[in-house]
Structures are given as C-alpha cells and as structure tokens.
Amino acid sequence: MTAPAVAEPVVRAEDVAVSFVGRDATVNAVNGVSFTLDPGEVLCILGESGSGKSVTLRALMRLLPFRRARLSGRIEIAGLDVMAMSDRALADLRGTEVGMIFQEPMVAFDPVYTVGRQITETIVRHEGVSQEQARRRALDLLDRVRIPSPERRLRAYPHELSGGMRQRAMIALALSCQPSLLLADEPTTALDATVQIQILLLLRELQREFGMAVIFVTHDVGVAVEIADRIAVMYGGRFVETGPVREIMRNPRHPYTQGLLASTVHSASRGQTLEAIPGSPPDMTRLPPGCAFAPRCRFAEPGCETPPAAIQLSPHHMVRCIRAT
C-alpha cells in the first residue's frame, strides 16, 4: 500500500505459533504467522474452517485457554509487547486498544443484563467515568451504529433484539473505548444476506470514521473483497498468500487461492460448473512436513515435500509456493 513508512504499525506479529496440547494429540493450529498492520488498514484473513484464522485472531490478544494453549513468537500491539504483559496489563489492553466482535451476536451478550448495562460497564471499567457519562456515551455509540430509538434499546435485553441489531450493539460495545485495532471474527457469518451487507457497510464506515485498523476473519471471498485493503489467505495454520485485495483477485498465485476463487459463485457463472477443491482440510494434529496444501494440489511435485519459503513477488505480494518463482 502507499501508507507513509513513518507511521508505526498497529500490529506487528512475528512468527506467531499456537498449539493446543491435549492428552492424546497436539493440535498445531497456527504455525508461524508474521505480518504487520498499519493504522487504518483492513486486513482480511481468508480461509476454510479449521485453518487457524480465529485462533490467530485470539492469539493477538492472548485470549486462548492458558492451560492448554502454547503460544510463541512476538506480538506487538501499538508498540507494546503483548507476550510480556501481565494479566492486569492485558486486561487494560483489551477493550481499550483492541476491540473484538464475535461471530454469534446471539451468545456474545450476557442474557441477564441489558445491552446498555453491558456497554456502560465496559466504559466505566476502562475510563473510570461516572455512570451517567458512560450512559451518554453508550447512547451516542448506539446512535453511531445506526440503532433506531437507542434510548429504548439501552434498556433492552439481548434476546429482545434481532440478529442484525444485536451485531450492531456488539460493534458498539467493541468500539466503546475507541480502540485503534478492531478484531472481527466472522461477524457476518451468522446473519442474513441482506443484513450482512448492512453490517459490512457499517463496519467500513466506522473504520474510516474512527481511523481504526481492522483484522477481519472470514471464509467468504465476497465479504473479503467488500471490506479488505489487504487479504491474507490462510491454510494449515500459515499465511500461504498475502497481498492487496486487487492483486489477489486479479492474479492469485497460490493454487489454494486460485481454487478458493474458482469455487466462489459469481453472477456470471450460471451454467458453468463450479470448480471445487478436492479433498478436505488437513488434520492439524498431523500436518505434512512440506507444503500443507500439497496433498490436495493439482500441481504437486516432489519439491513440495520441503516447506515452501515465502516468496515476495512484489513488495506487498507474498506467496508460499515453489511454483511461484
């Protein structure tokens, strides 16, 4: 992108790896993910279920079950070393610098408190303002996420709101302390198609308004194109291809990305047979030593037995495939 180099990146992740240690097997969910994210940039992590995208997102805030998850690598958010943080410092970071929205707006709110109470609670917790001030802020937030008659919604319980409304409220909650980074974990997946696009537009608008950086996780190529500046395609716990959205769409270089794009329904494809990627995602307890996609890849060759290095096709377009050179 053309962002000035002087800006300090909001996120700097280096070689982040996450594994879940179980009694019978160790699941290597994320295997060395590195990226940086500039202020105001929207990165979309695209991948199938089980490719490690949600885990990557949670790893950034160290929101993983500490007993079973092993996290390594370096993570910096807003210049702060997340890996070295105490629980207390982490709790301060979450919600202030980083906000998060979830896939299921149905269960992301506590059913026994009103929506307003949950938003004001967060504001009071982080900024120590009075209840009254927090309430005014919450009202303003609901207004900004375009919730009609916000006064009434503040007193509503989560189950009294519709799915789209609840996701809007969730966004309001995540934005309550003006974070510089918003993590969105498939926020539109559980919604109707018509509501999906509204939420996407809203997120895009708010992102510009607040100047936030956003990491958006999805399995939906259409959603990614709609919202992203940059796309990272994830497979087997690695970024297999990253680049500006335009370049990835026009010139995908990794066979997996190509397959993903080919298997997406376009309006022009009526009558044409959709191409599907054969096979199923890899078993994360036993990843192949080389390229994780090789077993499903049409172009697999003996050289795929060794882990493919990251190849920079252009300053911003990276791909991990030996065929790309």
* Nearest alpha carbon to residue 196 among 225, 163, 241: 163
**Residue 268 touches other proteins, criterion: CB under 8 A:** no
Interstrand relation of 98-101 and 80-81 (parallel, antiparallel or unpaired): unpaired
**Phi, then psi, of 148 in degrees rounded to 5:** -70, 155
Site residues (CB under 8 A) for other proteins, limited to 212-231: none
**Residue 270 touches other proteins, criterion: CB under 8 A:** no
Which residue among 48, 63, 124, 244 contacts other proteins (CB under 8 A)?
63
Q: How far apart are CA 102 and CA 105, in angstroms?
A: 6
**Residue 176 touches other proteins, criterion: CB under 8 A:** yes
DSSP code string of 191-236? S-HHHHHHHHHHHHHHHHHHT-EEEEEES-HHHHHHH-SEEEEEET
Closer to other proteins by CB, 48 or 104: give it: 104
Which residue among 84, 107, 265, 274 contacts other proteins (CB under 8 A)?
107
Q: How far apart are CA 70 and CA 28, in angstroms?
A: 9
Closer to other proteins by CB, 67 or 298: give it: 67
Residue type at 95 in one-letter notation: G
Q: How far apart are CA 243 and CA 107, in angstroms?
A: 34
**Residue 99 touches other proteins, criterion: CB under 8 A:** yes
Site string for other proteins, 10-39 (x = CB under 8 A): ------------------------------
Closer to other proteins by CB, 9 or 164: give it: 164
* Binding site residues, other proteins, CB under 8 A: 61, 63, 67, 87-88, 91-96, 98-100, 102, 104, 107-113, 121-122, 125-126, 146-149, 152, 155-157, 159-162, 164-165, 170, 173-174, 176, 183, 197-198, 201
